[in-house]
Chains A and B, each alone.
Chain A
Amino acid sequence: MRLQRLLPAAILAACAFALPPLFAAMGVAFLLTQLTMSAYYALASLGLCALMGYAGQISLGQAGFFAIGGYASAFLCTRDLGAAAAPSGLVRLLDSSGLLVRWTDPYGKALLTLAPALSGLCAVLLAVLVAALLGTPVLRLKGHYLAMATLGFGIVIEKVARGTKALGGADGISAVPGLAILPGLSVTGGRAARSANFTIAWIVLALGILVLTNLVRSRPGRALRALRDGEEAAAAMGVDTARYKLKVFVIAAAFAAIAGVLLTHYNGSIGPGEAASTRSVRYVAIVAVGGMDNLVGTLVSGLVLNFLSLRGVFGSFDDAVFGAILILVMLMSPEGKAARAFRSLLPKRKVAGR
């Protein structure tokens, strides 16, 4: 039981350290870049898996929270605070507390900005706050009403990002500096940091699946699954269903935001495409392929499908492939009405041993 709980995280952690030297020896170290990015996208999918698969609350806005994380951190750590002739008291206080950094961007401009670790933290907190504010009203909705409300949220985030000059409009924000997690260890791009960043990403992913596995196998996790299968019965057993739904919604948003922050600092940039509803559909498709209430399945499908997509296997049909995957999974799912109608057309198979 205990081993089973720790196994996926242990395998990820082992890969985090074993794959870089192995890939280097095989001469395919360049693959680590896409595997790093895949890990962050998989992290956002894991959060959605808890929300959608276990608690039964669909969200078509997961990319919105990913983008809030990425954009907020990118904005806060590239916004120059030193330009003012007389810096405000707050800026001086932050500076003397060591929370600001002086650096020169690739265009040679000297900047005084928030330290990326701090901007990342603020970004995740912002996403949590937005999720709490959004979730309180929309989680009263069920099924496709909830899906549409969260879809609307995702569209708002994408269009605001695209239309806001301070966020770089259609270009997004670039020249985002690395995020230092430990002295000498930063989430950042570039060849020199490639192996270390692969390790960081996969360790973060290992921690992510570990805490979510713990969650779904616990008292609150059981309550979430119970409310998914029937809110009235769960409430009658003492589960505060509104509160539980809000909490798991916030956790899912936090996972997306953490992924958004880390990937943005790794890539050194973020654009409005990260908030697109096609991205949200992609997260949903990954959870569906993984088996809905299956964290390990979501982890594997998230790593594999994103890796293939990033390697360009799907070519220009990238989003089309994920859309098609979603249709197929819905047809195959035991819950889908369409699936039942579809299967009734197929010849009946006898189940052995019954």
Chain B
Amino acid sequence: MSLLEVQGLSRSFGGLKAVDGVGFAAQAEKITAVIGPNGAGKSTLFNLISGSIAPDSGQVAFDGAEITGRQPHEIARLGVSRTFQGIKLAKGMTALENVMIGRHTRSRAGFLSAMLALPWSRSEERSIREEAMRAIELLGIAQYASRPAGSLPFGIQRSVELARALASEPRLLLLDEPASGLNVRETRVLSELILRIRGMGISVLVVEHDMSLVMGISDEVVVLNFGRKIAQGRPKEIQADPEVISIYLGEDDA
């Protein structure tokens, strides 16, 4: 069944239709990729789904419930977690603390219980730490846990961001250009990781420019160009689609 359904989604900036009537569905426990050349509207589509910006028209439904125009924190609470194209970590906090933020929706201590250090909130705090550490170990970055996030190498910061998203135990993971800035080896490691994440029962929607990543792991590929969907299908079908080849793959080879 489809976990995420997008219908007729549109958003303009000034006169430019960044996303123009896009519709597709992402199936549960599958990897769905959205590809397209620069400026195709991938990131706008992504931000419309995660609630960072509101659409002019169209609907987004998650697990059967409409989430169009809801606040990002509300969408996060439903089990949708994301990473950012330009890494957005709290630079002054340690890698572990950043990942602990990922447990926010899975914990409930409020201001009063925290200020009074009530026993239940302190034991909750311990479990937040343990779960965050588990996500950090999954990404293989345990040795960086106590370092300030801003001081870490780029690739490690990417992993911290991914660990943060995973720590929330999402049902749907949104990855915004996860391979940008990674070298070939790092991209291969990332591919394997995304497949493992799917294996954990988490659905993945990935917006990506890097073809090698997308074609190797995706179950379904959606192609955008100038804000419109021009193709959708399995990676093999997409790679054989003449229109896709001419406007996207061809251009990439040039």
Contacts and interface: CB of A to CB of B under 8 A. Distances in A.
Contacts of A215: 111, 114-115
Contact of A235 (B76, B90, B103, B121): B76
B50 A236 contact: yes
Contacts of A237: 73, 76, 81, 101-102, 104-105, 164, 168
Contact of B71 (A221, A225, A235): A235
B91 interface: yes
Contacts, number: 104
Contacts of B77: 238
Nearest to B89: A233
A175 to B, nearest CB: 35
A46 to B, nearest CB: 12
Contacts of B210: none
Query: Max chain A CB contacts within 10 Å: which of B81, B88, B98?
Result: B88
Nearest to A227: B90
B110 to A, nearest CB: 6
A214 B114 contact: yes
Interface string A231-262: 01111111111000001100100000000000
Contacts of B50: 236
A247 to B, nearest CB: 5
Contacts of B88: 230, 232-233, 236
Contacts of A248: 111
Contact of A219 (B104, B116, B164, B168): B104
Contacts of B52: 232, 236
Interface size class of A (residues with CB under 8 A): 20 to 34
A247 B112 CA distance: 10
Interface in B69-119: 71-73, 76-77, 81-82, 84, 88-93, 97-98, 100-105, 107-111, 114-117
Interface of B: 50, 52, 71-73, 76-77, 81-82, 84, 88-93, 97-98, 100-105, 107-111, 114-117, 121, 124-125, 128, 164, 168
Interface of A: 211-212, 214-215, 217-223, 225-226, 228-230, 232-241, 247-248, 251, 293
9 contacts: A211-B115, A211-B116, A215-B111, A219-B103, A225-B97, A226-B101, A237-B76, A237-B164, A239-B101
